[in-house]
Amino acid sequence: MAAGYHPPRRLLCHAHWTVDGIKMSKSLGNVVNPRQVGAPPSALRYLLLREATMSSDAKLCHGYYSNYQFYKAADAVIHVLHLANLFFETQKPWELKKKNAQQELDTVLYITTETLRICAIILQPLIPDLATQLLDKLQVPQDCRSWQHCETPSWADGGVQLKLQPGKFVLFQRIYIDKKAKKINA
């Protein structure tokens, strides 16, 4: 106050982080060094925001964000992505292409890419780098990546049509863990 700053009106605190059920502690020597985890920063960021709840110890939609329930937002989006994946696998677009069923194929691809677009927009606050990579891959213009764009189909946003950039695209690399290693030291 003497420096002209007001004290914070709200403090946001999280519960403890645990490793194998034991609270992380420098004195116990079980603090995990994020640089040695072997996961890319975006994956680690997602894990931390997904597991960090305000009411319970953490293990290694708009309302969810405003109430600091990031894990619920992540869960909701991941659930939708699982459903989109199930839809995609059930519709078998590779077979639709062989059958020359272009209208059905276009519908499946549109629904899938539109779901990816909306989920990527929602995930931007949690995993900005990965969400941006996905939106870039879908060629979503920079000015069509805000919350309001989740409420309208992509074709209604100035005629934007989603087209995948060519080439292989992997958001998360598979992480192989050495089963002989018991824990990662700091």
Query: pLDDT tens-digit profile of 114-131?
Result: 889 988 998 898 888 889
pLDDT of residue 83: 87
User: pLDDT tens-digit profile of 166-180?
Assistant: 777 777 666 666 665
CATH superfamily for 71-156 is: Isoleucyl-tRNA Synthetase; Domain 1 (1.10.730.10)
User: pLDDT tens-digit profile of 51-100?
Assistant: 655 555 444 444 555 566 677 777 888 888 888 888 889 889 999 999 99
Of the two residues 102 and 3, the one the predictor is more confident about is 102
User: How many Å apart are CA 60 and CA 18, to the nearest integer?
Assistant: 7
In sign, the C-alpha dihedral spanning 133, 138, 142, 143 is negative
Residue 185: helix, strand or coil by DSSP? coil
pTM: 0.59
User: pLDDT tens-digit profile of 1-41?
Assistant: 677 888 877 766 656 666 666 777 778 777 666 666 566 66
pLDDT of residue 60: 40
User: How many Å apart are CA 106 and CA 97, to the nearest integer?
Assistant: 10
Q: What is the 3-state secondary structure (H, E, C) of 11-69?
A: CCCCCCEEECCEECCCCCCCCCCHHHCCCCHHHHHHHHHHHCCCCCCEECCHHHHHCCC
Per domain, the residue ranges of the chain are: 17-60, 71-156
List, edge to edge, every strand of the sheet that includes 17-19. 22-23, 17-19, 58-59
User: pLDDT tens-digit profile of 130-148?
Assistant: 899 999 988 888 988 988 8
pLDDT of residue 186: 44
pLDDT of residue 135: 92
pLDDT of residue 21: 67
pLDDT of residue 132: 93
Share of the chain above pLDDT 70, in %: 58
